[in-house]
Chain A
Amino acid sequence: MSGKSLSEQEGLNSVPNAAARISTEATITRDPAEVRVGSAAGTGEEKAMSLVESKDLTKTYQAGEVEVKALKGISFAIEPASFVSFVGPSGSGKTTLLNLVGCLDKPTSGQLRVVGTDVATLGRAEGATFRGRNIGFVFQDFNLIPVLTVFENIEYPLLMVECCGARERRERVETLLEAVGMADQKKKFPSQISGGQKQRVAVARALVADPKLVLADEPTANLDHETAFMVINLMKSLKKERKTTFVFSTHDPKIVGEAEIVYTLEDGLVTNLEDRRAGHA
């Protein structure tokens, strides 16, 4: 990592020492406001603008008779229009954390607010509506719907979730098709396009409902390096253009280099935070 460690960064009145940082109790900080990262951090006024706020977040799974502590108390905050990456080895808790932030799973304890909503209070149907309106997803395996064309895959959230008019749908899908460079492939089915193209379609699908947050779990894991960079750069440029917050997980060091803010996870704890934006380095 080229950036400073968490305790060294300005504006982050964080953990007093390394021992505390890696403990289950204290991760980055005990107050999400203290680990506020993104376009504008630090002032009390901006605190209310956090897109994601987590405090002492834990997640425990029951694997047979064994209890697996995937997250051991994580606190952080993500501001709008950030390009954030969670990195760490397999089993460090990246996917679990993204699942919680994406309201796909519920925390065992701690607080998690996404777009001002306490996700623990959302029921099954409310959770679906909330995700449809506020969160876009990009999956490692692309997860396109095989029976729908490229155009229809991107259109899907508008049809099944947002329910907007045909003209508006067409315009929004066409715009994104152009943005991800897939306009000429719109009539093809997922089985007829390459992995990189699939992921571009997945990015377009994630953005079509104009969500505040896009979560991408290992979006480049199934792509070659060149395509992976292309997808990451596409996400970066769309973030700039649309002011959407992108949060992705990866364990590919080269891809990590493209992120503006990098959280390092190890054994269910955040062990490092790196902010590479101008004025934060």
Chain B
Amino acid sequence: MEGLLNPRLMRNLLPAFSLTILLILIFYIQPRTMSYLGLNLLLNLALPIAFATLAQMCVMTVNDLDLGIGSFVGFVACVGATFLRDTPAIGILILLGCVGVYAGLGALIHQRNLPSIVVTLGMSFVWLGLALLVLPTPGGKAPDWARAIMTWKTPMVPFTIYASIFVALAVHFLLMRSAYGVVLRGAGGNPRSVERAGWSLLRIKMAMYALAGFFGILSGIALIGLTTSADANIALRYTLLSIAGAILGGGEFVGGRISPIGAVIGATTLTLAGSFLSFLRISPDWQIGAQGGILIIVLALRVLINRMEAK
């Protein structure tokens, strides 16, 4: 069980390993991507997806699933491209209210013992409807500061890479290293035990949902910083991407087993998988299916490692 063959270590390294393999393949097929501009184009959209994945991971920590994150990110993008630019005070107020709504969802799900997928699926239509009210047709304009941050020319490697590393480490510290993070993860592992030790499960759920709302907002703003304008349907596919990213990164649907660093890597891997398939000249018609294929391969590897562990 020691050394490199330790299954737990292997499982933790699997996301990074998958990303490395994918990067090597991309660099091999298209060496011109190995430049500042190339990396920037490749990883451009990774940051919003990474934030959405972290949001999803927060909800997964307490054994729930957020099926509304995609529409929520879309709503935030619409607010960002309208209110946040024109009347920043109201824009900020709306976004703060969103965090409150997310905390309220956590409270509702806990108090009424509702299945999270039902509540969040319902909310996805609410977010979409609100987004259409705010911005009936695609358009709007991102605030200049969002645009400035997202197009910031950082030295050596693009901004996305610095930001991803920073966010991954920050969330890792918060959830995996801090004393309260332990309680939050414990609530996913054995809620009864955490409750019997005197912690409030209600507060834990509200905290995790509020955190999910916060990352959802970061995702939406990062997204319009890149696209400059918004559309209610802009991020619908983020719901499934975020689930796939969190799982790809070593998280599990139940049991409080999560990995923030893995989730960011997982999101990046998914973003790169799309580019990789384009470089292989696979027609867009087949890309979604091929992306699923990559997902299946990585998850199958994880099952293999788990089997090794069970022995």
Partners in one complex: no
